Amino acid sequence: MPSPGSTPAQPGRRPRGRPGHDRAAVLRRAIALFNVQGYDATSVSDLAADLGVTKSAVYHHFASKEDILAAALDEALTELDALVAAAQAASDRSARERLEETVVAAVGILVEHRAAVTLLLRVRGNSAVEQAALARRRHIDAALAALVVEAVDEGDVRADVPAEVISRLVFGMVNSLTDWYEPGGRSGPAALAAAVRGVLFEGLGARSRVS
Amino acid sequence: MPSPGSTPAQPGRRPRGRPGHDRAAVLRRAIALFNVQGYDATSVSDLAADLGVTKSAVYHHFASKEDILAAALDEALTELDALVAAAQAASDRSARERLEETVVAAVGILVEHRAAVTLLLRVRGNSAVEQAALARRRHIDAALAALVVEAVDEGDVRADVPAEVISRLVFGMVNSLTDWYEPGGRSGPAALAAAVRGVLFEGLGARSRVS
């Protein structure tokens, strides 16, 4: 609850740029806590204590804990929506080309927004906010699966595995980055994207021995 | 706590085959609850209520909630340990062959022990039991990565991507099955294993167009 003298939380319209922690910093720390100790186990008091601010400072930026979760999931979903829109827009190019570019771009999103995507991938639908996020995720998954179907239909992706399974395997590999990618590790984002694209589209075989 | 007349829980030696729920059934239901609502949020009372038995019936089989978690993680780890042992034992065959067989066998384990593997993949090291499981998992990951290194050294797996990254991508794809595989779905375990092997080792390209 707002302390005396602070601006009460007003859903839908909150001032920004307050001294101390800005909205983005609060969101970043909240996502980290949700990922480490779980959304249910994290209270706004925990977040405020972690940030070294009062609860009212948190409520200055967000109306509720669920509002923070919604913003966190929106960060990942907005990027993924844009990815899908780009893949669908460039319909003058082959589906295979667009699929390869989508994989590369998805790796970039997972590296840059790793924490938010990790949170999204763990959502199980326990609230209205989570259910809305799952619905958006299903829409994205369906669009990516449709792109694989197109590429199979155009003869550029193997037809001996159901397109739906291919789509799951491709984005299963991409999503696995949230489990193991370490920022600042030996493979930078560009090398990583090239590796994922190469392994997926060319296979693991040594180049000289690919039959 | 055991109710009057029941056999008290004795760590290390517990009778089996008690009327009602056997140990395996209790474990199965516990894993399902841990996966759905989280380990921390699940109490032995929840589990007993879910099974329609008393807490003492649960304690008849397991000394504590942590004992149940240990058994659940052990189910997955025992299978994965055997997978690694098999890959290491057959050293008369090429590393590439053994890697392909390991991928196929891993898909089988993930399909058959999906719930236990899902639980294992979510472990974050919040207790001694979880830390022991993470240590065993690291050992397995290291052995699989060593197999990839061998296959690269033998010239049968591409050398333009670090072997460690290849290993992460391969088992990232395999592990993703825990998120989307539906038992009884259109692709049975054998077809799924063949699909994963094909996509990973040959790539996504249409067969007629593989260069």
- Indicate if the pLDDT at residue A97 is higher than 70: yes
pLDDT of residue B12: 45
What CATH architecture is B23-62?
Orthogonal Bundle (1.10)
Mean pLDDT for the stretch of residues B4-13: 44
Mean pLDDT of chain A: 89
pLDDT of residue B101: 97
B104 and chain A: CB distance < 8 Å anywhere?
A: no
What CATH architecture is B69-204?
Orthogonal Bundle (1.10)
Mean pLDDT of chain B: 89
B177 and chain A: CB distance < 8 Å anywhere?
A: yes
Amino acid at residue number A129 = V
pLDDT of residue A17: 45
A123 and chain B: CB distance < 8 Å anywhere?
A: no
Q: Topology of A23-63 in CATH?
A: Arc Repressor Mutant, subunit A (1.10.10)
B192 and chain A: CB distance < 8 Å anywhere?
A: yes
pLDDT of residue A20: 59
Q: Topology of A72-209 in CATH?
A: Tetracycline Repressor; domain 2 (1.10.357)
Interface test with B, best of A204, A209, A210, A211 (most B CBs within 10 A): A204
Q: Give me the residue spans of the domains in chain B.
A: 23-62, 69-204
Q: Tell me: the pLDDT tens digits for B47-102?
A: 999 999 999 999 999 999 999 999 999 999 999 999 999 999 988 999 999 999 99
Q: Tell me: the pLDDT tens digits for A19-78?
A: 557 999 999 999 999 998 889 889 999 999 999 999 999 999 999 999 999 999 999 999
Q: Which of A176, A186, A204 sits opposite B166 (nearest CB)?
A: A204
User: What is the secondary structure of chain A as a DSSP string?
Assistant: -PPTTSPPP-TT------SSS-HHHHHHHHHHHHHHH-STT--HHHHHHHHTS-HHHHHTT-SSHHHHHHHHHHHHHHHHHHHHHHHHH-TTS-HHHHHHHHHHHHHHHHHHTHHHHHHHHH----SHHHHHHHHHHHHHHHHHHHHHHHHHHTTSB-SSS-HHHHHHHHHHHHHTHHHH--TTSSS-HHHHHHHHHHHHHH-SB-GGG--
In angstroms, what separates the C-alpha of B206 from chain A's closest C-alpha?
4
Residues 15-54 of A with CB under 8 A from B: 36, 38, 40-41
Q: Is A168 in contact with B180 (Cβ distance < 8 A)?
A: yes
Q: Could you tell me if the ipTM is greater than 0.95? A: no
pLDDT of residue B4: 41
In angstroms, what separates the C-alpha of B195 from chain A's closest C-alpha?
6
Q: Is A172 in contact with B179 (Cβ distance < 8 A)?
A: yes
B165 and chain A: CB distance < 8 Å anywhere?
A: yes
pLDDT of residue B60: 95
Q: Tell me: the pLDDT tens digits for B22-50?
A: 999 999 999 999 998 889 889 999 999 99
B1 and chain A: CB distance < 8 Å anywhere?
A: no
The better pLDDT of the pair A126, A134 is held by A134
From B118, which residue of chain A is nearest by alpha-carbon distance? Answer: A122
Report CA dihedral (A41, B29, B178, A27) to the nearest 10 degrees.
-10
A161 and chain B: CB distance < 8 Å anywhere?
A: yes
- Indicate if the pLDDT at residue B17 is higher than 60: no
Q: Tell me: the pLDDT tens digits for A173-197?
A: 999 999 999 887 777 899 999 999 9
Least confident of A199-203, A207-211, B115-119: A207-211
